[in-house]
Structure 1
């Protein structure tokens, strides 16, 4: 699996597949400088070769993985929005709207915070 389309094709539930397509298209439209990649069978977006945000899906939710530092940065917003989260992921239940303002905050934080990062992950 090498492209977002290949990833999407593997999502069995059509409404889940379309939701992920909408999220990916939103990111590509809003952040055309980010490069979509598939690593470890998961869709991710990178900037100058460094990880910015990744996604995965399960039966009950889509998971957003922006790295622990970004989750800590947006913790209050995540809690106010009522999303379940861990140090590593934010769970977006399929029946809830996509929190685009929160995704924007996470992505923009990582782009700024990792502007000089020379590695894929933070060190």
Structure 2
């Protein structure tokens, strides 16, 4: 379910954060939490996106790899199935 949290568009499940989006001057930032980055690092590199431990930067002049975003969301849904908190601990 999309909602605005911390001035960012966030996708959430009933009880969990799945992804957050924010816009900067030259890129769209996607934050799937560190576990989502770690799980998708090879795909992030293959898409030629810059990333840190906590977010992926998609240049505004680059195509968006929607299958990668879907993979991050699906991973977070499955990985957080037994998580009792909004964020991973």
TM-score range (shorter-chain normalised) is over 0.9
Q: How much does 1:48 deviate?
A: 1.8
Q: Distance in 1 between matches of 2:30 and 2:81?
A: 21
TM-score (norm 2): 0.95
Other-structure match for 1:26? none
Mark the structure with the bigger radius of gyration.
1
Q: How much does 1:36 deviate?
A: 1.1
1:62-101 residue pairs with structure 2 within 5 A? 62-101=28-67
Other-structure match for 2:26? 60
User: Which 4+ stretches in 1 moved above 3 angstroms?
Assistant: none
Gaps of 5+ in 1: 1-34
Q: Distance in 1 between matches of 2:3 and 2:48?
A: 29
Bigger share in helix: 1
Other-structure match for 1:44? 10
Secondary structure, aligned partner of 2:2: strand
Aligned residues: 89
Q: Distance in 1 between matches of 2:26 and 2:10?
A: 20
RMSD: 0.8
Q: How much does 1:61 deviate?
A: 0.5
Other-structure match for 2:83? 117
Secondary structure, aligned partner of 1:74: helix
